Structure 1
Amino acid sequence: MSLSALRRGDLAGARVLQINEDLTEFPDEIFGLADTLEMLDLAGNRLTSLPADFGRLHRLRTFFGSGNRFAVLPPALGNCPSLSQIGCRNAGITQVPGESLPPGLRWLTLTDNAIATLPDALGERRNLQKLLLSGNRLSALPGSLQAADNLELLRISANAFTTWPGCVTSLPRLAWLAMAGNPFNPPPPPRATHRLISWSGLTSEAVLGQGASGIVHRMTWQDEQRAVAVKLFKGRMTSDGAAMDEMAAMLAIGQHPNLTSPLGAVSEHPDGVEGLVMPLLPDGWRPLAGPPSFETCSRDVYDPGMQLDRATALRLVRGIAEATQHLHAKGLIHGDLYAHNILWDGARGAAVLSDLGAAGFYPRGADAAALQRIETRAWGILAEEVAGRCPEGFQALQSLAERCQHPRPQARPLMGDVCAELARL
């Protein structure tokens, strides 16, 4: 898509519009799509504001403005009656006026800005499900957020919190929490306690995958004469937090059969890149599901034809429960316990929990059990999704999943109790 095509009228009736042409002013021609436009992506331009009548885009549901130069999150966004998702990463934002938050706000991403305070209006947006604030200057959350009863995912990593905002543990639907890289976090274990694997002893073969925090390579570890997976970190801020906090968490987890436990840390990389060496999973292993879509917001997307027998389902969720309990015993919250972060064999239910990008150590002053019960809810959602893919039904697992999602967090079991009940099943 291009601005010239828009001006020629070639995009009449478009529902989605993306323009990345170093814009410094908002093109008025976009208003010609007011009766159809649902997603507007103006990321990567040089805009400093949006027009006051931006609300004319009355069907707009999603706005992306990352990489622009908004010192202030544009107040005009709040005038859009249908707008539910806003993404403005790394846009130079220092202020978030209450009026910039549309009434139907469901998903707000303000990662990697310079925001020090948030308005009380944030907690008044009752549809709010996902709030991503990593990489800012926040030292407190607005008190109104205690009323955010639908909030399920919260990212506050790499901010300036000196004390733990304990109000978040009482949120009835919170399941995915990232909190690393704040002053309230304890220091990670010293690097010297971990095995160092020289880069010169690793031979690259292929790229296995790439994410926001790094690139995973298939390599040969010459000293051991074995194929391994090596993750090289980009060192950038992600929506989950800082890449180095992910590395610290992974080096602390130790060994567990249901975790992608590292064998050691890369040393002596010629460019000073940090990395981890991990066991290579068997060919054919794949994610259990795809990540949430714009429509599902906080729920993963499964293959609609996926079916599991009870034995496979039980083995799968039990392995992930045991991995989660292991992390909790190490003083860690995974923060992103989702099916799309579970790799499995696609047949018998063998599985590992991966991607510790949102993981964090228990903060000083936090109630460890309360934090663990947030993750109990995440496991409960996973178990419910898995049980729902058993054609013959799995009422015992379904019942456990429901108890793990109890709206009163204190009523949820800890993961040790969950594992004990799964063993009885």
Structure 2
Amino acid sequence: MLKVTPYLELDCEANHLVDHANRTTIGLTFSESAVLSHLISAPDAICDKDVLLQVGWPDRVVAATSLTQCVSTLRKKLEPYPEVQLKTVARRGYQLHISLKSHVKMLAVNDAASIKTALFDVSLMVKVGGIIVLLSLVLLAWLNSNNYTVMQEAGKWQADKQIPLNIGGTKESIQLIYPTGEDRLHPSMWQKHIAPETNHIPGIESFNAYALTDGEHYSFASCETDSDGHCIRDQMINLTAIDLTPAGLDMKQFIALSRTMEKRIRYNRVLIPPYVIFQEKEQKKAVEPEFIEHHYHGDIYFPVADELLVRADVGLSLVYEGENTGKFYSSTCITDEDCLTTPIKYQIRGDFEQYKETIDNLDVDVFHVKVTQKDLIKPDTVSASAMHFYREIRKHNIRDDELFFYRIHKDKQTAVWIVPLMGNIIVWTKYEKVEL
């Protein structure tokens, strides 16, 4: 028996995983068992694909796709154990990583050393039994807590890669965030929608950016930076690819069109002034705010070849009622460049709890939102370009009762968010503090 975690073991003879926590077994094929056994023997080491093919299919010649399918099936069988991560290392092989922070260590009932200690004398056994019961209760409470749920969700993401990105003729290396196990991470997935021959924006000397994929959409959020490396508040670009066909986006034309669209229509603009003033005996006095709204706003554009440019006008608002809790409001309005689609409006209200997590070396604020109200308004007219968005939002509107928003970067005037819109999309937003 090979120990994977304190409560999960691999039986190489029977070809199955033994889960002592749930008292279940998970069947494996010979190849899956052999490959997993080899990976366990060298945790965190990168195992060559050819070696794994020899281990999993001895004395046989099989295609490389056999290993790919084997790893894919293993990942599905290991999904209930987020602390066990089977990673793909591009052009090198595979790596098994056991996270120490993702679970509470348990006393395995077949752990010989533990049993020996427990049987040392009766009184010690009683004490250990009490400790096990207590740990079991603590574990049960932990597994049913919001903290564990958030930790599991954050554990689905990785941020250990950088990719090159060319915006307007300026090239930078940017942070990439992607789901664990996702291997379609070539930089072209983010770059190919910008036509190289028209990728020129005068005046951009440097920018900061983040790239994201949820496995279906490929988005990036960028902001031009000043000489000190700070984001210039009004120079943001948020692009999301929903189609694999290159969109051929002319960046100079795009910038002009996006500025026109934002001036023409703004559904999520904050209209409340920063403070309220009243007149009393010809003296102006400031009214103390009853609460503070932290508002974030950004525009996401979806370029698709031969289609109208679609824009999502996204607003997020937080009203704290405790140190890390409060009310959450999200409003999204979707239109196209010719206004053929009157706004598709999607609004969410709920209660949030805020958590501090890390995705690799990236510190993030995770907002766990329990939805109390959702409103999806279908307009009288929806263009062909925008119909995809209505269908996707409607699908999520029906099933999502709790949502996770990630704030991965913030400064005094801006913040970068991962928002659960039609999956997960990244957006650089402007920040406003509104006193009410």
TM-score tier, shorter chain, comes to under 0.3
Q: TM-score, normalised by structure 1?
A: 0.26
Q: Which protein is bigger by CA-based radius of gyration?
A: 2
TM-score normalized by the length of structure 2 = 0.25
